[in-house]
Amino acid sequence: MFNLVRLALRRPVTILVLIASVVLISVLAIKEMPRDVFPDLGVPIIYVAQPYGGMSPAQMEGYIARYYEANFLYVSGIKSIETKSIQGLTLVRLEFHSGTNMAQALAQTISYANRAKAYMPPGTVPPFIMRFSTGSLPVGDLVFSSKTRSLAQLQDLVQFRVRPLFATLPGVSAPDPFGASKRSIVINLKPDRLRAYALTPDEIVKAVKAANVIVPSGNVQIGRQTPLVRSNAVVGNIENMLNIPLKFGTTRTVYLRDVATVEDASDITVGYALVGNRKTIYMPVTKLSGASTLAVVNTVKENLPKFQAMMPKDVKILFEFDQSPYVTRSIANLLSEAALGAVLTGLMVLLFLGDWRSTVIVLITIPISLLFAVVALWLSGQTVNLMTLGGWRWRLALLSIPPL
């Protein structure tokens, strides 16, 4: 019968070398293992989000969702399809059977989404297709505030100054900022003037599109030079839009200013962000799957001065809703519990048995056992998260039981 104690007594040098190797490897494992809030559970779920501005939920269901449902039935390993349609958006949730190759499922989903798009109304933009992962949840928010600028101005600054720099950080993705309605050029038509000139809103739309056309230009040979010829007809400013011709007549040409007014405004407000009872702009800090929460948070905090340097002086940037303290507190609690358990167990052994050698063995065994667990988790591809730390606490509780 295999006896571990007898083996240790026969091969003391081998055991010491093994323990030293585990300690050294555990140092590398602790350094390399990602530290996250939740483990990557490998949930076999894919989400497809299809926007289409202006459509009602019934229209999104009839013209968008049903084509996705019909085509996604061909995806291998599909278990269930759920759709939810709201104004301007359809969200499709695809659940797959356990053991499905999700890389292949994602590729097939993209392929059949492109096929379904051919049956949808003109102007349908490509959908957002993403695989759900508990390890890809936001780990914080970059909050932008200013006492002198509007939310629309703040969002433009974040979109075009901070977001490109933020996307270069390792382990993070760069979602769009949230909190302000998108800038929109609003044309307010006058119904009585439209009737007077016998015009329809569709004719206004066609005229505005025709006046904003980008045509590829070329070069013209002028002597020894071939300068580039500008041929785009995009309106340069809002005031020039009022001069767009709508109808040509023998006596008078009808322009847009005759039947409408143009305003540099924003889209309809559908949501806003409140931080400290104040409307602000925020950008979620979303880490990539497999990246460490602590590493991502530390990287973002280290680059906050760079983000601040890209913004005007009146804009303040804060990192809020930090999720890393959950992991750091759990690690700190585990270390304190390990030290306390080792000390108390050693005292009990010393008081009841009166053997200092047994006390030293207990004090050494508990941390070495935890280091063995760290190496095993690292070799199995696991991360340091709330679940694995909870397992270590149970192991620590069992190790802290003194021998009879």
pLDDT, tens only, 124-169: 888 988 887 766 677 888 888 888 888 888 888 888 888 888 888 8
pLDDT at residue number 71: 92
pLDDT at residue number 401: 55
Q: Compare 118 and 231 and report the one with higher pLDDT.
A: 118
pLDDT at residue number 111: 92
Q: At residue 404, does pLDDT exceed 50?
A: no
Q: At residue 398, does pLDDT exceed 60?
A: no
Q: Compare 32 and 97 and report the one with higher pLDDT.
A: 97
CB 327 within 8 A of CB 294: yes
pLDDT at residue number 138: 79
Q: Find all residues with CB under 8 Å of 343, minimum gap 6, and list them.
A: 363
Please count the other Cβ atoms lying within 10 Å of the Cβ belonging to residue 387: 15
Query: pTM of the full predicted structure?
Result: 0.64
Q: Of 123, 57, 116, 117, which Cα lies nearest the Cα of 90?
A: 57
Q: Compare 191 and 387 and report the one with higher pLDDT.
A: 191
The percentage of the chain sitting over the pLDDT mark of 70, rounded to a whole number, equals: 87
Q: Of 343, 308, 16, 295, which Cα lies nearest the Cα of 158?
A: 308
Mean pLDDT for the stretch of residues 108-131: 89
CA angle 63, 67, 73 (to 5 degrees): 160
Greatest mean pLDDT range, 176-180, 214-218, 376-380:
176-180
d(C-alpha 81, C-alpha 78), whole Å: 8
Instruction: Say if strands 89-96 and 78-86 run parallel, antiparallel, or are unpaired.
Output: antiparallel
Q: Of 303, 209, 290, which Cα lies nearest the Cα of 256?
A: 209
**Coil, strand, or helix at residue 146?**
strand
pLDDT single digits (tens) 258-289: 899 888 777 766 667 777 777 888 888 888 76
pLDDT at residue number 1: 42
- Location of structure tokens 């109808």: 247
Q: Compare 244 and 398 and report the one with higher pLDDT.
A: 244
Please count the other Cβ atoms lying within 10 Å of the Cβ belonging to residue 174: 17
Residue 149 exposure: Cα atoms within 13 Å on the Cβ side = 20
Q: Of 133, 41, 42, 44, which Cα lies nearest the Cα of 95?
A: 44
Q: Which helix (H) or strand (E) holds 93?
A: strand 89-96
* Confidence category of residue 91, pLDDT binned at 50, 70, 90: very high
Query: Any long-range contacts for 65-68 (C-beta under 8 Å, 24+ apart)?
Result: 65/90, 65/92, 67/116, 67/119, 67/120, 68/92, 68/113, 68/116
Q: Find all residues with CB under 8 Å of 142, minimum gap 6, and list them.
A: 162, 166, 282, 283, 285, 300, 307, 317, 318, 319, 320
d(C-alpha 266, C-alpha 156), whole Å: 12
Conformation bin of residue 293: beta by default, left when phi > 0, alpha when psi is -120 to 50: alpha
**Coil, strand, or helix at residue 259?**
coil
Estimate to the nearest angstrom the gap between the alpha carbon of 352 and the chain centroid. 56
Mean pLDDT for the stretch of residues 174-201: 84
Residues in the chain: 404
Q: At residue 225, does pLDDT exceed 50?
A: yes
Token pair listed for 103: 């890389």
pLDDT at residue number 402: 52
pLDDT at residue number 3: 67
Token pair listed for 196: 């007077």
pLDDT at residue number 110: 92
Q: At residue 320, does pLDDT exceed 60?
A: yes
Return the DSSP state at 270. -
Q: Which domains does the chain have, with CATH numbers?
A: 4-32+327-399 (no CATH), 45-132 (3.30.70.1430), 139-179+272-322 (3.30.70.1320), 183-266 (3.30.2090.10)
Q: Of 36-50, 306-320, 337-351, which gets the smallest average pLDDT? A: 337-351
Q: Find all residues with CB under 8 Å of 1, minimum gap 6, and list them.
A: none
Q: Compare 321 and 134 and report the one with higher pLDDT.
A: 321
pLDDT at residue number 31: 75
